[in-house]
A and B are shown apart, each in its own frame.
Chain A
Amino acid sequence: MTDKQRIILKNRIAVTFAWIAAILFFFPIFWMVLTSFKTEGQAIAVPPQLFFEPTLENYLEIQERTNYTKFAINSLITSFGGTLLALMIAIPSAYAMAFNTGKWTKDILMWMLSTKMLPAVGVLMPIYFLAQKFNIYDTKFLLIVIYAMMNLPIVMLILFNYFREIPKEILEASRMDGTSTFNEIREVVMPLAWGGIASTALLSVILCWNEAFWSIVLTTTDASTLTAFVASFQAPEGLFWAKVSAVSTLACAPIVVFGWLAQKQLVQGLTFGAVK
Protein backbone atom coordinates (compact mmCIF):
# COMPACT_ATOMS: atom_id res chain seq x y z
CA MET A 1 0.00 0.00 0.00
CA THR A 2 1.44 3.34 -0.92
CA ASP A 3 1.58 6.27 1.43
CA LYS A 4 -1.15 7.99 -0.50
CA GLN A 5 -3.49 5.00 -0.29
CA ARG A 6 -2.74 4.74 3.39
CA ILE A 7 -3.67 8.36 3.95
CA ILE A 8 -6.86 7.97 1.95
CA LEU A 9 -7.83 4.88 3.96
CA LYS A 10 -7.13 6.64 7.22
CA ASN A 11 -9.25 9.53 6.07
CA ARG A 12 -12.12 7.20 5.20
CA ILE A 13 -12.03 5.62 8.64
CA ALA A 14 -11.90 8.99 10.33
CA VAL A 15 -14.85 10.25 8.29
CA THR A 16 -16.86 7.14 9.17
CA PHE A 17 -16.24 7.67 12.84
CA ALA A 18 -17.04 11.37 12.48
CA TRP A 19 -20.44 10.47 11.06
CA ILE A 20 -21.06 7.91 13.79
CA ALA A 21 -20.30 10.56 16.40
CA ALA A 22 -22.50 13.09 14.61
CA ILE A 23 -25.42 10.64 14.50
CA LEU A 24 -25.04 9.64 18.14
CA PHE A 25 -24.89 13.24 19.29
CA PHE A 26 -27.80 14.25 17.15
CA PHE A 27 -30.00 11.29 17.95
CA PRO A 28 -31.71 12.63 21.11
CA ILE A 29 -32.67 15.75 19.16
CA PHE A 30 -33.94 13.70 16.24
CA TRP A 31 -35.98 11.69 18.73
CA MET A 32 -37.37 14.85 20.27
CA VAL A 33 -38.41 16.25 16.89
CA LEU A 34 -39.93 12.89 15.97
CA THR A 35 -41.88 12.82 19.24
CA SER A 36 -43.27 16.27 18.50
CA PHE A 37 -45.25 14.71 15.64
CA LYS A 38 -46.77 12.02 17.83
CA THR A 39 -49.94 12.09 19.88
CA GLU A 40 -49.46 11.98 23.65
CA GLY A 41 -50.56 8.36 23.57
CA GLN A 42 -47.98 7.43 20.92
CA ALA A 43 -45.27 9.31 22.80
CA ILE A 44 -45.48 6.98 25.81
CA ALA A 45 -46.04 3.80 23.80
CA VAL A 46 -43.98 0.75 24.73
CA PRO A 47 -41.88 -0.12 22.81
CA PRO A 48 -41.26 3.38 21.45
CA GLN A 49 -42.51 3.82 17.91
CA LEU A 50 -40.26 4.83 15.05
CA PHE A 51 -42.95 4.60 12.39
CA PHE A 52 -46.33 6.14 13.01
CA GLU A 53 -48.84 8.41 11.42
CA PRO A 54 -47.51 11.91 12.07
CA THR A 55 -49.84 14.54 13.46
CA LEU A 56 -49.59 18.30 13.71
CA GLU A 57 -51.96 18.52 16.67
CA ASN A 58 -49.22 19.53 19.11
CA TYR A 59 -48.17 22.46 16.97
CA LEU A 60 -51.75 23.54 16.45
CA GLU A 61 -52.40 23.37 20.17
CA ILE A 62 -49.31 25.48 20.86
CA GLN A 63 -50.38 28.04 18.33
CA GLU A 64 -53.80 28.23 19.90
CA ARG A 65 -52.44 28.61 23.41
CA THR A 66 -49.54 31.01 23.15
CA ASN A 67 -47.98 33.70 21.09
CA TYR A 68 -44.81 32.04 19.90
CA THR A 69 -43.71 35.01 17.80
CA LYS A 70 -43.71 37.37 20.77
CA PHE A 71 -41.49 35.06 22.83
CA ALA A 72 -39.22 34.38 19.87
CA ILE A 73 -38.75 38.07 19.12
CA ASN A 74 -37.92 38.77 22.75
CA SER A 75 -35.40 35.92 22.69
CA LEU A 76 -33.86 37.28 19.51
CA ILE A 77 -33.58 40.83 20.82
CA THR A 78 -32.18 39.89 24.21
CA SER A 79 -29.75 37.21 22.96
CA PHE A 80 -28.37 39.24 20.11
CA GLY A 81 -28.47 42.47 22.10
CA GLY A 82 -26.59 40.91 24.99
CA THR A 83 -24.06 39.31 22.67
CA LEU A 84 -23.49 42.49 20.69
CA LEU A 85 -22.98 44.52 23.84
CA ALA A 86 -20.57 41.95 25.23
CA LEU A 87 -18.62 41.84 21.97
CA MET A 88 -18.40 45.62 21.76
CA ILE A 89 -16.89 45.78 25.23
CA ALA A 90 -14.76 42.68 24.86
CA ILE A 91 -13.14 43.05 21.43
CA PRO A 92 -10.97 46.10 22.29
CA SER A 93 -10.08 44.68 25.70
CA ALA A 94 -9.24 41.23 24.43
CA TYR A 95 -7.22 42.79 21.63
CA ALA A 96 -5.23 44.89 24.10
CA MET A 97 -4.59 41.90 26.32
CA ALA A 98 -3.69 39.52 23.53
CA PHE A 99 -1.13 41.75 21.90
CA ASN A 100 0.21 43.41 25.03
CA THR A 101 0.20 40.49 27.38
CA GLY A 102 1.55 41.70 30.69
CA LYS A 103 2.33 40.32 34.08
CA TRP A 104 -1.27 40.78 35.18
CA THR A 105 -3.08 39.61 32.07
CA LYS A 106 -3.59 36.08 33.29
CA ASP A 107 -4.76 37.27 36.68
CA ILE A 108 -7.16 39.77 35.18
CA LEU A 109 -8.67 37.05 32.99
CA MET A 110 -8.98 34.71 35.93
CA TRP A 111 -10.53 37.42 38.05
CA MET A 112 -13.05 38.10 35.28
CA LEU A 113 -14.00 34.47 35.23
CA SER A 114 -14.35 34.51 39.00
CA THR A 115 -17.15 37.09 38.71
CA LYS A 116 -19.25 34.21 37.41
CA MET A 117 -18.65 32.08 40.46
CA LEU A 118 -21.60 33.28 42.50
CA PRO A 119 -24.38 30.88 41.50
CA ALA A 120 -27.43 32.65 40.08
CA VAL A 121 -29.73 31.07 42.63
CA GLY A 122 -27.57 32.66 45.37
CA VAL A 123 -27.74 36.22 43.98
CA LEU A 124 -31.38 35.99 42.98
CA MET A 125 -32.60 38.39 45.63
CA PRO A 126 -29.92 41.09 45.24
CA ILE A 127 -30.50 41.35 41.48
CA TYR A 128 -34.23 41.14 41.93
CA PHE A 129 -34.22 44.00 44.44
CA LEU A 130 -32.01 46.14 42.22
CA ALA A 131 -34.24 45.54 39.21
CA GLN A 132 -37.27 46.59 41.21
CA LYS A 133 -35.55 49.60 42.70
CA PHE A 134 -34.50 50.96 39.33
CA ASN A 135 -37.89 50.14 37.85
CA ILE A 136 -36.43 48.10 35.02
CA TYR A 137 -38.11 44.85 36.01
CA ASP A 138 -39.62 42.96 33.05
CA THR A 139 -37.76 44.95 30.40
CA LYS A 140 -35.62 43.68 27.55
CA PHE A 141 -33.05 46.30 28.52
CA LEU A 142 -32.50 44.56 31.86
CA LEU A 143 -32.04 41.16 30.24
CA ILE A 144 -29.64 42.57 27.66
CA VAL A 145 -27.48 44.13 30.37
CA ILE A 146 -27.52 40.97 32.47
CA TYR A 147 -26.73 38.74 29.51
CA ALA A 148 -23.87 40.98 28.42
CA MET A 149 -22.33 41.02 31.88
CA MET A 150 -22.99 37.33 32.39
CA ASN A 151 -21.19 36.39 29.19
CA LEU A 152 -18.52 39.06 29.16
CA PRO A 153 -15.88 37.00 31.01
CA ILE A 154 -16.42 34.05 28.69
CA VAL A 155 -16.40 36.18 25.58
CA MET A 156 -13.21 37.86 26.80
CA LEU A 157 -11.47 34.57 27.44
CA ILE A 158 -12.41 32.98 24.14
CA LEU A 159 -11.61 36.07 22.09
CA PHE A 160 -8.29 36.38 23.88
CA ASN A 161 -7.53 32.82 22.85
CA TYR A 162 -8.29 33.42 19.19
CA PHE A 163 -6.51 36.77 19.06
CA ARG A 164 -3.43 35.17 20.53
CA GLU A 165 -3.32 32.83 17.60
CA ILE A 166 -2.77 35.70 15.19
CA PRO A 167 0.95 35.93 14.53
CA LYS A 168 2.36 39.20 15.83
CA GLU A 169 4.35 39.68 12.66
CA ILE A 170 1.18 40.47 10.74
CA LEU A 171 0.27 43.24 13.14
CA GLU A 172 3.74 44.62 13.20
CA ALA A 173 3.72 44.81 9.40
CA SER A 174 0.48 46.76 9.43
CA ARG A 175 1.74 49.02 12.20
CA MET A 176 4.71 50.02 10.12
CA ASP A 177 2.23 51.30 7.57
CA GLY A 178 1.07 53.66 10.32
CA THR A 179 -2.46 52.28 10.83
CA SER A 180 -4.43 53.64 13.79
CA THR A 181 -5.42 51.21 16.54
CA PHE A 182 -9.08 51.39 15.59
CA ASN A 183 -8.28 50.60 11.98
CA GLU A 184 -5.90 47.89 13.03
CA ILE A 185 -8.70 46.14 14.93
CA ARG A 186 -11.18 46.66 12.13
CA GLU A 187 -9.03 45.95 9.11
CA VAL A 188 -6.46 43.48 10.34
CA VAL A 189 -7.53 41.73 13.53
CA MET A 190 -11.23 41.28 12.84
CA PRO A 191 -10.85 39.75 9.37
CA LEU A 192 -8.09 37.45 10.57
CA ALA A 193 -9.96 36.34 13.66
CA TRP A 194 -13.36 36.30 11.97
CA GLY A 195 -13.88 32.59 12.54
CA GLY A 196 -13.02 33.04 16.19
CA ILE A 197 -15.34 36.00 16.61
CA ALA A 198 -18.13 34.11 14.86
CA SER A 199 -17.75 31.10 17.12
CA THR A 200 -17.59 33.34 20.20
CA ALA A 201 -20.72 35.15 19.11
CA LEU A 202 -22.46 31.86 18.42
CA LEU A 203 -21.55 30.57 21.87
CA SER A 204 -22.71 33.74 23.52
CA VAL A 205 -26.01 33.76 21.64
CA ILE A 206 -26.64 30.14 22.59
CA LEU A 207 -25.86 30.77 26.25
CA CYS A 208 -28.27 33.74 26.27
CA TRP A 209 -30.92 31.86 24.33
CA ASN A 210 -30.94 28.96 26.76
CA GLU A 211 -30.59 31.07 29.89
CA ALA A 212 -33.57 29.91 31.92
CA PHE A 213 -33.03 31.51 35.26
CA TRP A 214 -32.95 35.28 34.93
CA SER A 215 -35.27 35.25 31.95
CA ILE A 216 -37.97 33.63 34.08
CA VAL A 217 -37.33 35.38 37.40
CA LEU A 218 -36.96 38.88 35.97
CA THR A 219 -39.76 38.97 33.42
CA THR A 220 -43.51 38.79 33.56
CA THR A 221 -45.04 39.51 30.16
CA ASP A 222 -43.27 42.28 28.23
CA ALA A 223 -39.82 40.72 28.12
CA SER A 224 -40.58 37.00 28.47
CA THR A 225 -38.38 34.87 26.28
CA LEU A 226 -38.72 31.38 24.86
CA THR A 227 -37.64 29.81 28.14
CA ALA A 228 -40.88 31.07 29.66
CA PHE A 229 -42.66 29.69 26.57
CA VAL A 230 -41.14 26.28 27.31
CA ALA A 231 -41.95 26.57 31.02
CA SER A 232 -45.61 27.04 30.18
CA PHE A 233 -45.67 23.56 28.65
CA GLN A 234 -43.29 21.80 30.97
CA ALA A 235 -44.49 19.27 33.54
CA PRO A 236 -48.22 20.02 33.73
CA GLU A 237 -50.59 17.59 35.41
CA GLY A 238 -51.09 15.07 32.61
CA LEU A 239 -49.16 13.65 29.69
CA PHE A 240 -46.96 16.22 28.00
CA TRP A 241 -43.98 14.57 26.27
CA ALA A 242 -45.25 15.19 22.76
CA LYS A 243 -46.27 18.77 23.45
CA VAL A 244 -43.05 19.64 25.23
CA SER A 245 -41.12 18.12 22.32
CA ALA A 246 -42.98 20.32 19.89
CA VAL A 247 -42.42 23.36 22.08
CA SER A 248 -38.71 22.67 22.37
CA THR A 249 -38.43 22.09 18.66
CA LEU A 250 -39.96 25.50 18.10
CA ALA A 251 -37.81 27.06 20.82
CA CYS A 252 -34.52 25.86 19.41
CA ALA A 253 -35.40 26.04 15.71
CA PRO A 254 -34.28 29.66 15.25
CA ILE A 255 -30.96 29.03 16.91
CA VAL A 256 -30.28 25.92 14.88
CA VAL A 257 -30.84 27.97 11.75
CA PHE A 258 -28.50 30.60 13.10
CA GLY A 259 -25.95 27.92 13.97
CA TRP A 260 -26.19 26.57 10.44
CA LEU A 261 -25.49 30.00 8.99
CA ALA A 262 -22.71 30.65 11.47
CA GLN A 263 -20.87 27.39 11.02
CA LYS A 264 -19.68 28.48 7.59
CA GLN A 265 -18.10 31.51 9.22
CA LEU A 266 -16.46 29.44 11.92
CA VAL A 267 -13.83 28.02 9.62
CA GLN A 268 -13.00 31.22 7.79
CA GLY A 269 -9.90 33.09 8.79
CA LEU A 270 -7.44 31.66 11.26
CA THR A 271 -5.46 30.15 8.40
CA PHE A 272 -2.26 31.89 9.26
CA GLY A 273 0.05 29.18 8.09
CA ALA A 274 -0.11 30.52 4.57
CA VAL A 275 0.29 34.14 5.64
CA LYS A 276 3.41 33.42 7.63
Chain B
Amino acid sequence: MNPTLVRWLQAPSIILLLIWMIVPLAMTLYFSTQRFNLLYPERTGFIGLSNYKFFWTDPSFMPALLNTLVLVGSVLTITVVLGLAVSLLIDREFKGRGIARVMLISPFFIMPTVSALVWKNMLMDPNNGLFAAFSNALGFTPVQWLQDMPLFSIIVMISWQWTPFAILIFMTSLQSQDQEQMEAAELDGASFFSKFYNLTIPHLARPISIVILIQMIFHLATFAEIFVTTSGGPGVQSTNLTYLIYIQSQQAFDVGVASAGGVFAIILANIVAIFLIRAVGKTLTV
Protein backbone atom coordinates (compact mmCIF):
# COMPACT_ATOMS: atom_id res chain seq x y z
CA MET B 1 0.00 0.00 0.00
CA ASN B 2 1.09 3.54 -0.72
CA PRO B 3 2.85 4.95 2.42
CA THR B 4 1.11 8.30 2.06
CA LEU B 5 -2.23 6.57 2.04
CA VAL B 6 -1.27 4.58 5.11
CA ARG B 7 -0.48 7.82 6.89
CA TRP B 8 -3.74 9.41 5.83
CA LEU B 9 -5.71 6.44 7.07
CA GLN B 10 -3.98 6.50 10.42
CA ALA B 11 -4.02 10.25 10.85
CA PRO B 12 -7.57 10.85 12.16
CA SER B 13 -7.26 8.43 15.04
CA ILE B 14 -3.80 9.64 15.98
CA ILE B 15 -4.62 13.34 15.81
CA LEU B 16 -7.88 12.99 17.74
CA LEU B 17 -6.30 10.92 20.46
CA LEU B 18 -3.43 13.37 20.67
CA ILE B 19 -5.86 16.20 21.39
CA TRP B 20 -7.84 14.00 23.76
CA MET B 21 -4.63 13.22 25.61
CA ILE B 22 -2.81 16.53 25.60
CA VAL B 23 -5.57 18.93 26.60
CA PRO B 24 -6.66 17.21 29.83
CA LEU B 25 -3.09 16.19 30.59
CA ALA B 26 -1.82 19.74 30.25
CA MET B 27 -4.64 21.02 32.42
CA THR B 28 -3.99 18.32 35.01
CA LEU B 29 -0.30 19.14 35.11
CA TYR B 30 -1.11 22.81 35.46
CA PHE B 31 -3.68 22.28 38.23
CA SER B 32 -1.28 20.00 40.07
CA THR B 33 1.04 22.94 40.71
CA GLN B 34 -1.71 25.28 41.83
CA ARG B 35 -3.43 25.92 45.10
CA PHE B 36 -6.92 24.99 43.90
CA ASN B 37 -9.63 23.87 46.25
CA LEU B 38 -13.18 24.27 44.99
CA LEU B 39 -14.38 25.14 48.47
CA TYR B 40 -11.86 27.99 48.80
CA PRO B 41 -12.16 29.82 45.50
CA GLU B 42 -10.27 32.81 46.87
CA ARG B 43 -7.09 30.81 47.51
CA THR B 44 -5.13 30.57 44.28
CA GLY B 45 -1.58 30.65 43.02
CA PHE B 46 1.42 28.57 42.17
CA ILE B 47 2.62 26.31 44.99
CA GLY B 48 5.28 24.23 43.29
CA LEU B 49 5.29 20.58 44.20
CA SER B 50 3.39 20.88 47.49
CA ASN B 51 0.40 18.97 46.12
CA TYR B 52 2.65 16.14 45.04
CA LYS B 53 4.35 16.11 48.41
CA PHE B 54 1.02 15.99 50.20
CA PHE B 55 -0.14 13.03 48.15
CA TRP B 56 3.17 11.25 48.31
CA THR B 57 3.59 11.55 52.09
CA ASP B 58 0.12 10.18 52.82
CA PRO B 59 0.66 7.08 55.00
CA SER B 60 -2.01 5.41 52.87
CA PHE B 61 -0.07 6.01 49.67
CA MET B 62 2.23 2.96 49.76
CA PRO B 63 -0.47 0.49 50.86
CA ALA B 64 -2.76 1.90 48.18
CA LEU B 65 -0.06 1.47 45.56
CA LEU B 66 0.46 -2.12 46.63
CA ASN B 67 -3.28 -2.84 46.66
CA THR B 68 -3.56 -1.40 43.18
CA LEU B 69 -0.87 -3.74 41.88
CA VAL B 70 -2.20 -6.79 43.71
CA LEU B 71 -5.67 -6.12 42.39
CA VAL B 72 -4.52 -5.69 38.80
CA GLY B 73 -2.22 -8.71 38.93
CA SER B 74 -4.78 -11.05 40.47
CA VAL B 75 -7.64 -10.04 38.24
CA LEU B 76 -5.46 -10.37 35.15
CA THR B 77 -4.33 -13.85 36.11
CA ILE B 78 -7.79 -15.07 37.02
CA THR B 79 -9.56 -13.65 34.01
CA VAL B 80 -7.01 -14.85 31.46
CA VAL B 81 -6.79 -18.39 32.84
CA LEU B 82 -10.52 -18.73 33.35
CA GLY B 83 -11.28 -17.03 30.09
CA LEU B 84 -9.00 -19.40 28.18
CA ALA B 85 -10.46 -22.46 29.84
CA VAL B 86 -14.05 -21.46 29.22
CA SER B 87 -13.52 -20.33 25.64
CA LEU B 88 -11.85 -23.66 24.84
CA LEU B 89 -14.81 -25.48 26.38
CA ILE B 90 -17.35 -23.71 24.22
CA ASP B 91 -15.27 -23.85 21.07
CA ARG B 92 -17.34 -26.70 19.67
CA GLU B 93 -20.79 -27.33 18.27
CA PHE B 94 -23.43 -28.27 20.79
CA LYS B 95 -27.09 -27.76 21.35
CA GLY B 96 -27.92 -24.47 23.06
CA ARG B 97 -24.47 -23.09 22.39
CA GLY B 98 -25.87 -19.64 21.66
CA ILE B 99 -27.65 -19.56 25.02
CA ALA B 100 -24.57 -20.75 26.89
CA ARG B 101 -22.53 -18.10 25.13
CA VAL B 102 -24.86 -15.26 26.11
CA MET B 103 -25.02 -16.57 29.69
CA LEU B 104 -21.24 -16.54 29.84
CA ILE B 105 -20.90 -13.03 28.48
CA SER B 106 -23.77 -11.56 30.46
CA PRO B 107 -21.88 -10.52 33.62
CA PHE B 108 -20.18 -7.95 31.43
CA PHE B 109 -23.58 -6.36 30.73
CA ILE B 110 -24.14 -5.43 34.36
CA MET B 111 -23.13 -1.99 35.56
CA PRO B 112 -20.25 -2.15 38.04
CA THR B 113 -22.18 -0.42 40.81
CA VAL B 114 -25.05 -2.86 40.44
CA SER B 115 -22.72 -5.84 40.34
CA ALA B 116 -21.10 -4.59 43.55
CA LEU B 117 -24.49 -4.14 45.22
CA VAL B 118 -25.61 -7.64 44.24
CA TRP B 119 -22.40 -9.26 45.45
CA LYS B 120 -22.14 -7.27 48.66
CA ASN B 121 -25.73 -7.61 49.82
CA MET B 122 -27.36 -10.59 48.23
CA LEU B 123 -24.41 -12.96 47.98
CA MET B 124 -21.60 -12.08 50.38
CA ASP B 125 -23.48 -10.59 53.31
CA PRO B 126 -22.61 -12.80 56.33
CA ASN B 127 -26.18 -12.57 57.67
CA ASN B 128 -28.64 -12.16 54.82
CA GLY B 129 -26.54 -13.36 51.92
CA LEU B 130 -26.81 -16.51 49.89
CA PHE B 131 -23.27 -17.69 50.63
CA ALA B 132 -23.98 -17.42 54.35
CA ALA B 133 -27.15 -19.48 53.87
CA PHE B 134 -25.09 -22.20 52.13
CA SER B 135 -22.46 -22.13 54.88
CA ASN B 136 -25.12 -22.38 57.55
CA ALA B 137 -26.86 -25.23 55.76
CA LEU B 138 -23.57 -27.11 55.62
CA GLY B 139 -22.82 -26.35 59.25
CA PHE B 140 -19.99 -23.88 58.72
CA THR B 141 -19.65 -20.39 60.14
CA PRO B 142 -20.35 -17.90 57.35
CA VAL B 143 -17.30 -16.08 56.06
CA GLN B 144 -17.22 -12.34 56.72
CA TRP B 145 -16.09 -11.68 53.18
CA LEU B 146 -15.78 -7.92 53.11
CA GLN B 147 -14.47 -7.64 56.65
CA ASP B 148 -11.87 -10.39 56.69
CA MET B 149 -10.78 -10.48 53.06
CA PRO B 150 -11.92 -7.24 51.50
CA LEU B 151 -9.41 -7.06 48.66
CA PHE B 152 -9.98 -10.69 47.73
CA SER B 153 -13.74 -10.15 47.67
CA ILE B 154 -13.33 -7.20 45.35
CA ILE B 155 -11.03 -9.25 43.13
CA VAL B 156 -13.73 -11.91 42.92
CA MET B 157 -16.37 -9.37 41.90
CA ILE B 158 -14.18 -7.81 39.24
CA SER B 159 -13.06 -11.16 37.89
CA TRP B 160 -16.67 -12.24 37.61
CA GLN B 161 -17.39 -9.16 35.56
CA TRP B 162 -14.28 -9.24 33.36
CA THR B 163 -13.77 -12.93 32.62
CA PRO B 164 -16.60 -12.59 30.09
CA PHE B 165 -14.54 -9.92 28.35
CA ALA B 166 -11.67 -12.38 27.95
CA ILE B 167 -14.08 -15.09 26.85
CA LEU B 168 -15.56 -12.82 24.21
CA ILE B 169 -12.18 -11.99 22.69
CA PHE B 170 -10.74 -15.52 22.90
CA MET B 171 -13.93 -17.12 21.63
CA THR B 172 -13.92 -14.97 18.52
CA SER B 173 -10.23 -15.54 17.91
CA LEU B 174 -10.52 -19.30 18.30
CA GLN B 175 -12.88 -19.27 15.32
CA SER B 176 -9.98 -18.54 13.05
CA GLN B 177 -7.82 -21.35 14.37
CA ASP B 178 -6.87 -23.77 11.64
CA GLN B 179 -9.18 -26.73 12.28
CA GLU B 180 -7.39 -28.98 9.79
CA GLN B 181 -4.16 -28.51 11.69
CA MET B 182 -5.92 -29.37 14.94
CA GLU B 183 -7.51 -32.45 13.48
CA ALA B 184 -4.21 -33.56 12.03
CA ALA B 185 -2.59 -33.21 15.43
CA GLU B 186 -5.47 -35.12 16.96
CA LEU B 187 -4.99 -37.98 14.52
CA ASP B 188 -1.25 -37.98 15.24
CA GLY B 189 -2.24 -38.74 18.82
CA ALA B 190 -1.12 -35.39 20.21
CA SER B 191 -2.28 -34.92 23.79
CA PHE B 192 -4.60 -32.09 24.78
CA PHE B 193 -1.77 -30.23 26.47
CA SER B 194 0.61 -30.58 23.60
CA LYS B 195 -2.05 -29.21 21.24
CA PHE B 196 -2.81 -26.45 23.69
CA TYR B 197 0.83 -25.39 24.02
CA ASN B 198 1.92 -25.88 20.45
CA LEU B 199 -1.14 -24.73 18.54
CA THR B 200 -3.69 -22.86 20.64
CA ILE B 201 -1.39 -20.69 22.76
CA PRO B 202 0.65 -19.42 19.79
CA HIS B 203 -2.57 -18.73 17.93
CA LEU B 204 -4.02 -16.83 20.90
CA ALA B 205 -0.81 -15.00 21.83
CA ARG B 206 -1.93 -11.70 20.40
CA PRO B 207 -5.49 -11.79 21.80
CA ILE B 208 -4.07 -12.69 25.21
CA SER B 209 -1.76 -9.67 25.14
CA ILE B 210 -4.62 -7.47 24.10
CA VAL B 211 -6.88 -8.72 26.87
CA ILE B 212 -4.10 -8.14 29.39
CA LEU B 213 -3.27 -4.65 28.19
CA ILE B 214 -6.86 -3.43 28.00
CA GLN B 215 -7.83 -4.90 31.34
CA MET B 216 -4.78 -3.41 32.99
CA ILE B 217 -5.98 0.07 32.11
CA PHE B 218 -9.45 -0.58 33.52
CA HIS B 219 -8.36 -2.27 36.72
CA LEU B 220 -5.77 0.33 37.58
CA ALA B 221 -8.73 2.69 37.81
CA THR B 222 -11.09 0.38 39.76
CA PHE B 223 -13.48 2.52 41.72
CA ALA B 224 -17.18 1.62 41.80
CA GLU B 225 -16.67 -1.81 43.36
CA ILE B 226 -14.60 -0.35 46.21
CA PHE B 227 -16.86 2.63 46.73
CA VAL B 228 -20.01 0.54 47.01
CA THR B 229 -18.70 -2.35 49.11
CA THR B 230 -15.94 -1.36 51.54
CA SER B 231 -15.28 2.37 51.09
CA GLY B 232 -11.62 1.38 51.01
CA GLY B 233 -11.64 -0.29 54.43
CA PRO B 234 -11.12 -1.85 56.84
CA GLY B 235 -8.22 0.51 57.34
CA VAL B 236 -6.69 0.88 53.91
CA GLN B 237 -6.93 -2.82 53.05
CA SER B 238 -9.01 -2.20 49.97
CA THR B 239 -7.97 1.37 49.19
CA ASN B 240 -6.34 1.79 45.81
CA LEU B 241 -4.76 4.79 44.15
CA THR B 242 -8.01 5.80 42.43
CA TYR B 243 -9.84 5.75 45.72
CA LEU B 244 -7.22 8.04 47.30
CA ILE B 245 -7.66 10.43 44.39
CA TYR B 246 -11.41 10.21 44.81
CA ILE B 247 -11.15 11.27 48.47
CA GLN B 248 -9.13 14.32 47.47
CA SER B 249 -11.24 15.14 44.44
CA GLN B 250 -14.77 14.49 45.66
CA GLN B 251 -14.58 14.72 49.44
CA ALA B 252 -11.90 17.36 50.01
CA PHE B 253 -12.69 18.95 46.61
CA ASP B 254 -9.01 19.74 46.33
CA VAL B 255 -8.42 19.82 42.58
CA GLY B 256 -4.71 20.52 43.06
CA VAL B 257 -3.96 17.45 45.13
CA ALA B 258 -6.31 15.29 43.05
CA SER B 259 -4.46 16.35 39.91
CA ALA B 260 -1.14 15.51 41.51
CA GLY B 261 -2.63 12.11 42.39
CA GLY B 262 -3.72 11.76 38.78
CA VAL B 263 -0.15 12.35 37.65
CA PHE B 264 1.04 9.61 40.02
CA ALA B 265 -1.60 7.32 38.52
CA ILE B 266 -0.30 8.01 35.02
CA ILE B 267 3.26 7.30 36.11
CA LEU B 268 2.19 4.04 37.73
CA ALA B 269 0.18 3.02 34.68
CA ASN B 270 3.15 3.69 32.45
CA ILE B 271 5.49 1.63 34.62
CA VAL B 272 3.04 -1.26 34.62
CA ALA B 273 2.54 -0.84 30.89
CA ILE B 274 6.28 -0.91 30.15
CA PHE B 275 6.58 -4.04 32.25
CA LEU B 276 3.66 -5.70 30.48
CA ILE B 277 4.82 -4.62 27.04
CA ARG B 278 8.16 -6.28 27.74
CA ALA B 279 6.32 -9.42 28.79
CA VAL B 280 3.59 -9.66 26.18
CA GLY B 281 3.85 -6.72 23.81
CA LYS B 282 6.16 -8.55 21.38
CA THR B 283 3.30 -10.70 20.25
CA LEU B 284 1.23 -7.70 19.17
CA THR B 285 2.79 -7.28 15.76
CA VAL B 286 3.95 -10.83 15.16
Contacts and interface: CB of A to CB of B under 8 A. Distances in A.
- Does A pair with B? yes
Given A32-B118, A118-B266, A199-B169, A154 B214 contact: yes
Contacts of B1: 96, 99-100, 181
Contacts of A161: 169, 173, 206-207, 210
Contact of A113 (B24, B228, B273): B273
Contact of A119 (B101, B123, B220): B220
B214 A157 contact: yes
Given A31-B122, A106-B285, A203-B168, A113 B217 contact: yes
Nearest to A158: B210
Interface of chain B: mostly helix, strand, loop or mixed: helix
Interface string A103-127: 0011011101111111111111111
Contacts of B21: 114-115
A73 interface: no
A46 B217 contact: no
Interface stretch (B42-50, B70-78, B88-96): B88-96
A122 B257 CA distance: 10
Contacts of A271: 175-176
Nearest to B129: A48
Interface in A248-263: 248, 251-252, 255-256, 259-260, 263
Contacts of A89: 12-13, 16
Given A212-B112, A259-B109, A263-B98, A23 B103 contact: yes
Given A153-B17, A161-B173, A18 B86 contact: yes
B108 A206 contact: yes
Contact of A158 (B136, B164, B169, B245): B169
Contact of A230 (B113, B284, B285): B113
A119 to B, nearest CB: 4
B138 interface: no
A21 B165 CA distance: 15
Contacts of A110: 213, 273, 277, 281
Interface string A208-232: 0110110000000000000100110
A210 B112 contact: yes
A28 B273 contact: no
B246 A199 contact: no
Contact of A44 (B128, B224, B245): B128
A17 B91 CA distance: 12
A8 to B, nearest CB: 11
A195 interface: yes
A31 B123 contact: yes
Contacts of A25: 103-104, 106-107, 160, 163-164
A119 B265 contact: yes
A130 B265 CA distance: 22
A263 B101 CA distance: 8
A97 interface: yes
B20 interface: yes
B236 interface: no
7 nearest A-B pairs in the assembled complex, by CB-CB distance: A122-B262, A117-B269, A126-B27, A96-B9, A26-B103, A93-B13, A47-B133
21 contacts: A15-B94, A17-B89, A48-B122, A108-B10, A110-B277, A113-B217, A117-B266, A118-B266, A119-B220, A121-B223, A125-B255, A210-B109, A227-B113, A245-B118, A259-B106, A263-B98, A266-B168, A266-B171, A266-B172, A267-B172, A273-B179
Given A22-B103, A210-B111, A266-B101, 19 more contacts: A18-B86, A26-B104, A31-B118, A47-B136, A95-B9, A96-B6, A100-B3, A113-B214, A115-B21, A118-B28, A122-B28, A126-B28, A129-B27, A157-B210, A164-B206, A234-B113, A248-B110, A267-B175, A273-B177
Interface of B: 1, 3, 5-6, 9-10, 12-14, 16-17, 20-21, 23-25, 27-28, 31, 85-86, 88-90, 92, 94, 98-115, 117-119, 121-123, 127-130, 133, 136-137, 160, 163-165, 168-169, 171-173, 175-181, 186-187, 206-207, 210, 213-214, 217, 220-221, 223-224, 228, 241-242, 245-246, 249-250, 255, 258-259, 261-263, 265-266, 269-270, 273, 277, 281, 284-285
